[in-house]
Structure 1
Amino acid sequence: MCFAKETKLLSGTHINLQENSEKVSTTVTTSVPMNCTFDIINPIVPSLSRIDVVIGECSLTINGPDSTSFNTIAVRDFVRDGNTNLTLKIQPRVGSCNLNISDPVTYTIEVSVEDFDGGRCNAASDPHYRSFDGRYYNWYQTGTIIVHQNLYRDFEVHGRAWNCWSVSCLCGVVIREGDDVASIDMCDGQFSYSPPKVKKLSHVTYNEGFKIYRDSSGRRFTVTTPSGSSVTAVVTRYWITAIITVPSDDFGNSNGSCGYFDGNSTNDFLLPSGETYMPTNVFQNYQPSNFTDSWSDSSFDSLFNRDLPSVPTMTPSTYCKCMSVGTDEVCSSATMVNNVYAVFRSGLIDITDNVASGESSRRRRSTGHHIQKRSAFEPTRTNVTNETLAWPSNGITEQNATDNCNSTLINSEIYAACKDLFENTDDLLNECVEDIQLTGSFDSVNDILERFQSQCETAVVNNYNTSSGNFTDDALVVQLESLNCPGQCSGYGNCTNGMCSCNDGFEGDDCSVNSMVSPELFSLNDEKTLRCDVRNDACENISAIGGPFTDNGNLKCQYAEDGDSTSISVSASFENFLEIKCQFGELVSTNYDKQKVNSKASMWLNVRVSTGEGDTRKSTGPGLTFIVYDPSLA
């Protein structure tokens, strides 16, 4: 094969790629003196209507006799779209060669791409696990566990569980890819009154593609990484449901409590030793403590407490699409990812910059870096069981629970859209009934809609039609995009074009809040009585914890000085459904000046919150005490 009559080429004329393998380097060689630039053109694969490989750079310069090389890697698309074959074109750039090439010829390299699946694992509430390969079991322990880790690439997810009633519930997750680390954690506070804290744990700047989002309800948080991996945490007062989505790189390269991930659920209980735990009875199959114990050993290096590097140790590789010649090519680490699950993540709010700056918890007078305070709580591993659970639970019978779970699911819009993709939903219904038994209330019943939505999305992705090059049911994909509402409107509204229309008496972007009920105020900055040092603490922005809150534009904090019956309102910003930030900046600075003039060491305030128009719907109870003081005047 020749570039010109005198020019011989190409060593490595066929490239074999796999969606779960590393980049492949191809060498281009010339045997005669030349100085030419060659463009690489990457075609759209007709069956996919997109490219299926990306390239390290779009042009090559050859100073011969010499050789040069370029890298290719398969696009990670998370879908079963079949193997593909394509042809890369290599052609000399007009006017760039010192040879007389009057009729440039385009040369080709054939590329084959072997398809591999992405995967999704769920760890729900107390925690009910569904592995990447679909195996269902329960983990009844407190402590920290390795949820998932890739054996060869630098990606891992750790989780931890606290005591909830007579069992354990997932209360926090940490996600790490390379140097980038973030946590979504409510394990630090009091059970049922601990808002989710989203924290940056790494000490270096986040890489491109590492993003943190929340939905408009403040109950759902998603972390995405440059590899296309994502972790979504759906938060309630009592627990977190974690949804871990990974690219094909992890197929056959995984371990942890989400299983081995190779398409075979029988070997999911892989131990750190490399052996597979094989349950010998039904109880061990659904509560495999030998398996979960092996991934929650106290000796492993927990991400919740790990010392992390203070300087970057790695940078994601960048790749280019190279689809045409003469255009400005934007190359990044994101080009190798085409995550089809992204169509189900519309309407999210990017909070990466706020989290990365430590805005929600940095001190008023900082020491130069804004990394948020780590959680000091590390639960000791404890085995718990659900043997003490019995019916009726707080007056609710098993039949009441079953009927409520069943009607919530089958009367939902998401069930009507997806029911034909499932033979049965027995596992989901069993989880729902068990959670009602655990809590003694119907508060958790709408969680079944979030879990069903996740399984529906996975089923849709797995029903990709390789012959047509599209989803088996395009109309269903469009419908699911339309039904992608926060919390599926909590069962108290209708979902249209990704937005909830709430029933009378309910409000919020997810319709989860009873508009006739006043919010609760539980603590200020996690304290019943908050003392704030105006010289050293961030007294201007105070967390009011309670709720439930919605981002309705009417959030206020009210305060009255000790002995004064007149309340003053200040604005409040929405953080999540359990937390708002009271903007006390002017109050603190004004009264700080007063204190200096009057030599008064402290100011005592009674604080309440309101969530209705015109400062209506005030928090219940007498309010909480906020003491602003100056230690220099004490």
Structure 2
Amino acid sequence: DVRGESVESHFFAGIRLKPALTVLSEDAGLHELLVGATVPVPCPEGSFSSTHSCTLPLQISTKSQGEVKNALGPDLSLSSCVLVLSQAPCRDGLCGSGRTHFSAITDFVKDDNRTTQISIKPIISRSLLWNGYSPEPVQVVVRDVPSAHCYAFTDPHMITFDGRYYENYQIGTFVLYKSSFWPLEVHVRQWECGSLEHAASCACGVVVRDGGDAVALDMCNGVMGETQPQLTVRSRDPNRNRIRIAESYQGRKVTMTLASGAFVRADVSDWGMSLTLRAPGSDLNHTEGLCGTFDGQPDNDFHSAGGAMLGDLQAFISEWRSDVKKKWQNSQRCRLSNSSPVFLRLPPGSSLFDLLPSHLDSSEGHSQCTCQKTACSRHANVRLSGVIPALDVTAKHAASLEQSGSSLFRASRKRVPASSRRRHRGRTRHSVPNSPRQLQRHSSSYFFPEDHELAAQAETPPAWPTPSGLTRQRAEAQCRRAVAESEPASSCRGLLGEQTLRRAVAMCVSDLQLKDDKSWLRATIPLLENECERRLEEEEAGGWEEHQQAVDVLRCPDLCGGNGQCSETGCVSPPCGYRPTLMKILFWVFLACSCGFLVMEDI
């Protein structure tokens, strides 16, 4: 007999998870996890029939660094928390395998690089070989990716995603933010507001699109100071709503949050609205519009629709403005290419204010789970936090899709010609024939004359003193008292920093010079509120204990006005059984998160 040399070979018997180590970015999408058994999966005891199922159910769990200790929550989501291994012929070292997918959770927190462990809970089985067995876990390192914010405040002062500051005094409809990564787009309308001496504009409406859904918050079809915003939900698929709507501070703040984690917040006033936009880290290098390019380089924020840098501010603004003169030219240029359409200027009547979303996302999206919860959803890979108390009103407004539009307040729908409000811009209004796309219009569309006027020409900057005699020194002093010494500024000073406060004061001074009206003194305070909340959210990893005063001010402005107590959900009113003094009768009026009072003197 001839015997060969014996060779020792190690054989692993059990279940392996692969890859053992993964490093991914917060915006990296789905990754595959392979779970394979190197020995046959057991069949029910005493059964070897093919009619019986030979399977091994596995419960998957995740544990992220700082999840409990720092209350950061999970950093990873899975496509499923249960995986069933079925018996199969042994091949390539595997006798049964299954796959699941994981992705990083977008959380908008500065939590650096966190490690998450994916493991399988001890198996419960009648088989002595498998019962109590738990495979070796694998590690996933998630690299933090920063988000970015864009601001359009008052007349409006623009701050791009990369922090570049400029003024936009033009009126009309503009592309504010468009993503090439997500089916996401934001259009804004601006009308003239508040100035008799100089060109000044304010946002009067905004439309947010996510896939086949759109939400419009609009007060442009009325008279400034008389009309209230109308909120309309439009969708190509009423059964799937990708946009969530929340109200804060009794409707003064309206926030529309998208599936990607992006949001648009409108701070509503009688003259219009100021806007705050958030782009998730996944949109890095994927944005265009008046909010800039979001690539960390403010110098290239002035860009064309094709990505070319523009040196002139007005050329940049006009590039993203609805322009009747370019309507025919753009339609011809877009027809020249059979590839994906190139986004150019908006022809009047073709914005999201006028048409239903043209994009219908046929995909159902990836349902993800965090395994700490029983239900999985398409939103599990985005973790939203907030300091300002918010009431989710999505269902309320989605009940009347597209046709009528549900109102945040009692809305005035009367409209006067733009020329009657326009005293200092010599423009000619152009009439436009009916568009062939008229059939796609939604029922709440209307004629917006500002889209058909020529762009404003550069004019001489306003000078000091103003017509009322207000000097620069007095304006700066008034703005410092109203803005820099306001409750949000005082409570959030350590978070905001002096540069943010100086910028808010400078915006206030500019508003006073342009409009010569003291009612604009506090118009930039919502900017401080939103910035304070953003920085609190980013610093969540370190806890909020040292910023408790800022948290209280955002949750309960003016400390509930002395009427009630501050809680995590806002102001809590005193009990209805409260007895006032003999000299007064006090009626408590419950208004959402806060309360007011009416005092009547005894006769």
| TM-score in terms of structure 2 length | 0.71
2:260 paired with 1:227: yes
Residues 489 and 500, structure 1, Cα contact 8 Å, conserved in 2:
no
2:315 paired with 1:290: yes
Match of 2:466 among 368, 379, 392: 392
The aligned residue for residue 423 of structure 1 is 498
Aligned-pair identity in percent equals 24
Aligned equivalents of 1:376, 1:94: Cα separation in 2: 67
2:344 paired with 1:332: no
Aligned equivalents of 1:359, 1:254: Cα separation in 2: 29
Aligned equivalents of 2:118, 2:301: Cα separation in 1: 39
Which amino acid is 1:480 matched to?
A: A
The count of corresponding residues between Structure 1 and Structure 2 is 479
The aligned residue for residue 388 of structure 2 is 345
Aligned equivalents of 1:121, 1:172: Cα separation in 2: 16
Shift of 1:109: 1.5
Shift of 1:73: 0.8
The aligned residue for residue 145 of structure 2 is 116
Secondary structure of 2:27's partner?
Answer: coil
Sort the Cα spacing of 1:420 and 1:110 in 2 relative to 1 into closer, same or farther, 3 A.
closer
Greater percentage in strand? 1
Structure 1 segment 125-524 matched on structure 2, within 5 A: 125-164=154-193, 165=195, 166-205=199-238, 207=240, 210-277=243-310, 279=311, 288-298=313-323, 299-300=345-346, 302-308=351-357, 313-323=362-372, 329-340=374-385, 342=386, 344-346=387-389, 348-358=390-400, 362=404, 373-377=444-448, 379-380=450-451, 382-384=454-456, 385=458, 387=460, 389-390=462-463, 391-421=465-495, 422-424=497-499, 425-463=501-539, 469-471=541-543, 474-476=545-547, 478-484=548-554, 488=557, 497=566
Residues 42 and 322, structure 1, Cα contact 8 Å, conserved in 2:
yes
Aligned equivalents of 2:155, 2:393: Cα separation in 1: 28
Greater RCO (Cα-Cα under 8 Å, separation 6 or more): 2
Residues 211 and 350, structure 1, Cα contact 8 Å, conserved in 2:
yes
1:341-381 Cα distance to aligned partner (Å, 9 max, x none): x1x231x33332332223998499xxxxxx86234426326
1:54-110 Cα distance to aligned partner (Å, 9 max, x none): 11100111223443211111111112210112221125631287x842551322122
Secondary structure of 2:64's partner?
Answer: coil
Sort the Cα spacing of 1:429 and 1:363 in 2 relative to 1 into closer, same or farther, 3 A.
closer
Sort the Cα spacing of 1:46 and 1:216 in 2 relative to 1 into closer, same or farther, 3 A.
closer
Sort the Cα spacing of 1:493 and 1:101 in 2 relative to 1 into closer, same or farther, 3 A.
closer
Aligned equivalents of 1:308, 1:33: Cα separation in 2: 52
Shift of 1:205: 2.5
Shift of 1:113: 0.7
1:463-517 Cα distance to aligned partner (Å, 9 max, x none): 56xxxx414x6321x322211268x55999999737689xxxxxxxxxxxxxxxx
The aligned residue for residue 598 of structure 1 is none
Sort the Cα spacing of 1:91 and 1:613 in 2 relative to 1 into closer, same or farther, 3 A.
closer
Shift of 1:454: 2.0
The aligned residue for residue 601 of structure 1 is none
Q: Which runs of no fewer than 5 residues in structure 2 stay unpaired?
A: 1-10, 42-54, 89-94, 324-344, 407-441, 573-587
Sort the Cα spacing of 1:131 and 1:93 in 2 relative to 1 into closer, same or farther, 3 A.
same
1:539-595 Cα distance to aligned partner (Å, 9 max, x none): xxxxxxxxxxxxx969xxxxxxxxxxxxxxxxxx99xxxxxxxxxxxxxxxxxxxxx
Sort the Cα spacing of 1:612 and 1:40 in 2 relative to 1 into closer, same or farther, 3 A.
closer
Q: Which runs of no fewer than 5 residues in structure 1 stay unpaired?
A: 365-370, 502-551, 555-572, 575-610, 615-634
Aligned equivalents of 1:330, 1:275: Cα separation in 2: 46
Residues 482 and 521, structure 2, Cα contact 8 Å, conserved in 1:
yes
Shift of 1:168: 1.8
Sort the Cα spacing of 1:458 and 1:376 in 2 relative to 1 into closer, same or farther, 3 A.
same
Secondary structure of 2:554's partner?
Answer: coil
Sort the Cα spacing of 1:490 and 1:296 in 2 relative to 1 into closer, same or farther, 3 A.
farther
Residues 268 and 274, structure 2, Cα contact 8 Å, conserved in 1:
yes
The two structures, once aligned, show a CA RMSD in angstroms of: 3.6
Structure 1 segment 97-116 matched on structure 2, within 5 A: 100-116=129-145
Aligned equivalents of 2:150, 2:563: Cα separation in 1: 28
Sort the Cα spacing of 1:312 and 1:262 in 2 relative to 1 into closer, same or farther, 3 A.
closer
Match of 2:114 among 61, 64, 84: 84
Match of 2:81 among 58, 83, 88: 58
The aligned residue for residue 516 of structure 1 is none
Which amino acid is 1:441 matched to?
A: D
Residues 508 and 520, structure 2, Cα contact 8 Å, conserved in 1:
yes
Sort the Cα spacing of 1:12 and 1:244 in 2 relative to 1 into closer, same or farther, 3 A.
same
Aligned equivalents of 1:95, 1:386: Cα separation in 2: 80
Which amino acid is 1:338 matched to?
A: R
1:167-195 Cα distance to aligned partner (Å, 9 max, x none): 22111111112222101111111222221
Which amino acid is 2:353 matched to?
A: F
Which amino acid is 1:352 matched to?
A: T
Which amino acid is 2:484 matched to?
A: I
Shift of 1:387: 3.0
Match of 2:56 among 36, 40, 49: 36
The aligned residue for residue 424 of structure 2 is none
Residues 493 and 500, structure 1, Cα contact 8 Å, conserved in 2:
no
2:26 paired with 1:19: yes
The aligned residue for residue 518 of structure 1 is none
1:264-295 Cα distance to aligned partner (Å, 9 max, x none): 32333343222333x4xxxx5xxx22222222
Residues 126 and 239, structure 1, Cα contact 8 Å, conserved in 2:
no
Aligned equivalents of 1:490, 1:443: Cα separation in 2: 23
Shift of 1:233: 0.4
Aligned equivalents of 1:23, 1:304: Cα separation in 2: 34
